[in-house]
Amino acid sequence: MQRFVNNPDEVVEDTVKGFIKAHSDHVRLAENPRVVIAKHGPRAGKVGVVTGGGSGHEPAFMGYVGKNMLDAVAVGELFSSPTAKSFHHAIVEANGGRGVVVLYGNYAGDNMNVKMAIKLAAKDGIEVATVVANDDVCSAPLTEREKRRGVAGEIFMWKIGGAKAATGASLEEVRAVAQRAIDQCRSIGVGLGPCTLPAVGHPNFQIEAGTMEVGIGHHGEPGVRVEPLKSARDVAKDMCDIVLEDHNLPAGSEVAVLVSGLGATPVNELYILNDTIETEITARGLVIYKTYVGNYFTSLDMVGATLTVMALDAELKALLDIEVQCTTLL
Amino acid sequence: MQRFVNNPDEVVEDTVKGFIKAHSDHVRLAENPRVVIAKHGPRAGKVGVVTGGGSGHEPAFMGYVGKNMLDAVAVGELFSSPTAKSFHHAIVEANGGRGVVVLYGNYAGDNMNVKMAIKLAAKDGIEVATVVANDDVCSAPLTEREKRRGVAGEIFMWKIGGAKAATGASLEEVRAVAQRAIDQCRSIGVGLGPCTLPAVGHPNFQIEAGTMEVGIGHHGEPGVRVEPLKSARDVAKDMCDIVLEDHNLPAGSEVAVLVSGLGATPVNELYILNDTIETEITARGLVIYKTYVGNYFTSLDMVGATLTVMALDAELKALLDIEVQCTTLL
């Protein structure tokens, strides 16, 4: 295992420590060391915006804490939901008196723990609303969208929700627009190589050399098919076909595009994919409003990439344009 | 080779196309398709700021084109210097009438081609000054600093030079402060896994499993030693020992820190390294002014990381604080 780790059981501990040290200008730990909060603190009169999720997806989730973005993030162990207690503490930290919205991904552990955290927050008198991200197209059919997992589309959901909250909107207004943002997102992942949990020491799934897994989840959940590795052009075309068929947007629609590496895919290959992605999207008469390329939502050292397409309306565009403070270019 | 590529001979072509498409809000291609320029164009009365280098280091070099940063970048083939013609065209594109500074790395090809480009630019009546980066500590002894290669410290050199030019400074003033910036930089790379030029199809050097190469160059140039892979803590300590012994800064000095992945090392491991790096730097009485962690200067799919430490003075701090437009958080 050619990795920079110390005690494999302390990967999250060490990652969080190094993260806080790097970004102490705008984030800090809460009393609960599994809760990262924005230094600007809960602004009285502002709806608090919270997320949380397993570690190993850096810069997600804690990298998106900051002004006009997330107010607090609950940090889980590698690929595991944060505890109910951590979600609860994140809600308390983000509370500025007008309620808190928790914008998180559709995984069993997160669903359960957020539910428990909401009960705990109710005892504190904090009103909580939720939006559950389910942008991963290949994880269930469109007719069962509520079963789909949340992946990199969550970043758009956070950005839209965070920006709306910053404008002074109500809890219901923030919830509604974050819900609309994720409703307008479709994502797909393609895996070329597995990832390894350091404490396990070997990959938790296999991708044979010369093959790729289309529709893979970002913890290695099985995709829709394994096939021989194609050219970047053909891979990108497949990704667009799957995402855009599901999305079914009328020509002329404006979209935001996010191409994220999964951890061990170099930056130049993401641009190679984006070359075809842009061609495919515009060939369908869609208009790209903004593109983001980089390691935005990773999966330890997985080799692969994800594509997220968010359809925009006037409000989503305006909110997307609001400048944020976080650890990636958004 | 589990990679997202098309024709392996067209990796640079495809990367540049995908890059321009992603960032067309602030960059565009010059008439020469191996020159990327800022859309804001050469500002009359501003010193132009240029760099160039081989591809495969994305987001370097073209990712640093933008307002208050680089005005034009010459793009080379993978790990190869841009041509003299491309450097010349980049100089012409960046020329706003007050001269152009070329801030580049110390490699034989780049030295030769920049020299030829300057002769061509002289015929156009453009005055050119240069700064040659040599921040890679392990590539030659301190007594032969002029032999050292340039690596990730170049990013600081570009940021300082670009910011100074944006203030309306003269060619000599921009050159001098960019020179001071790189003089104050020390970098080291540690490799855990090699990289593969797609057209070659197999790694161009080897790093045995269970070992690491300390002081490796970012094209795989041999380091100072190969040794058994240690804990992240011990690796980071070694990196700091080597960089800071060479730097020899008095206690109380303020520094900027850049921890960059080499392409296939996941983001969380960079934070794990940063945890110890911060401890080691502050234990020496140095004061960290700002930290950057991410894939800032990569080497295709190499597994590994670099550390750059730049010592700061009041002017360097002020210039570092000037906001820039580029494709990473700077």
Q: What is the ipTM of this complex?
A: 0.98
In contact, A96 and A46? CB cutoff 8 Å? yes
Active-site annotation holder among B57, B89, B218, B247: B57
pLDDT band at residue B1 under the 50/70/90 scheme: confident
DSSP A280: H
In chain A, what residues touch B232 (CB-CB under 8 Å)? 4-6, 14
Query: What are the b/e assignments for A120-131, b being 16+ CB within 10 Å?
Result: bbeeeebbbbbb
pLDDT band at residue B211 under the 50/70/90 scheme: very high
pLDDT band at residue A321 under the 50/70/90 scheme: very high
Describe the crossing of helices A171-183 and A153-166 by its angle, rounded to 10 degrees: 150
* Residue tagged 């997202």 (tokens): B4
Describe the crossing of helices B267-283 and B232-247 by its angle, rounded to 10 degrees: 50
Domain with CATH 3.30.1180.20 in chain A: 185-311
CA–CA separation, A237 and B36 (whole Å): 26
Active site residue A57: yes
Phi, psi of A171, rounded to the nearest 5 degrees? -55, -45
Chain A touched by B118 (CB under 8 Å): no
In chain A, what residues touch B276 (CB-CB under 8 Å)? 18
Residue range A10-139 forms a domain whose CATH class is alpha beta
pLDDT surpassing 90 at residue A318: yes
pLDDT in tens, B142-184: 999 999 999 999 999 999 999 999 999 999 999 999 999 999 9
Active site residue A247: no
Interface of B with A in 292-321 (CB under 8 A): 292-295, 298, 300-301, 303, 305
Instruction: Say what the pLDDT of residue B189 is.
Output: 98
Instruction: Say what the pLDDT of residue B42 is.
Output: 73
Domain with CATH 3.30.1180.20 in chain B: 185-320
Q: What is the mean pLDDT of residues A147-156?
A: 98
CA–CA separation, B77 and B34 (whole Å): 9
Instruction: Say what the pLDDT of residue A146 is.
Output: 96
| Homologous superfamily, domain A185-311 | Dihydroxyacetone kinase; domain 2 (3.30.1180.20)
Is B4's CB within 8 Å of A269's CB? yes
Closest C-alpha to B37, from B66, B80, B76: B66
Is A232's CB within 8 Å of B4's CB? yes
Is A56's CB within 8 Å of B268's CB? yes
| Homologous superfamily, domain B8-183 | Dihydroxyacetone kinase; domain 1 (3.40.50.10440)
Domain with CATH 3.40.50.10440 in chain B: 8-183
Q: What is the mean pLDDT of residues A263-270?
A: 97
Six token digits for residue B250: 């008095």
Instruction: Say what the pLDDT of residue A276 is.
Output: 98
Q: What is the mean pLDDT of residues A173-181?
A: 98
pLDDT surpassing 80 at residue B43: no
Q: What is the mean pLDDT of residues A281-291?
A: 98
Q: What is the mean pLDDT of residues B282-288?
A: 98
Question: What percent of chain A stands above pLDDT 90?
Answer: 97
Q: What is the mean pLDDT of residues B225-235?
A: 97
Peptide bond before A61: cis, by omega within 30 degrees of 0? Answer: yes
Question: What percent of chain A stands above pLDDT 70?
Answer: 100
Q: What CATH number belongs to B185-320?
A: 3.30.1180.20
Q: What is the mean pLDDT of residues B198-217?
A: 94
pLDDT band at residue B227 under the 50/70/90 scheme: very high
CA–CA separation, B131 and A71 (whole Å): 43
Chain A touched by B283 (CB under 8 Å): no
In contact, A132 and A153? CB cutoff 8 Å? no
Domain with CATH 3.40.50.10440 in chain A: 10-139
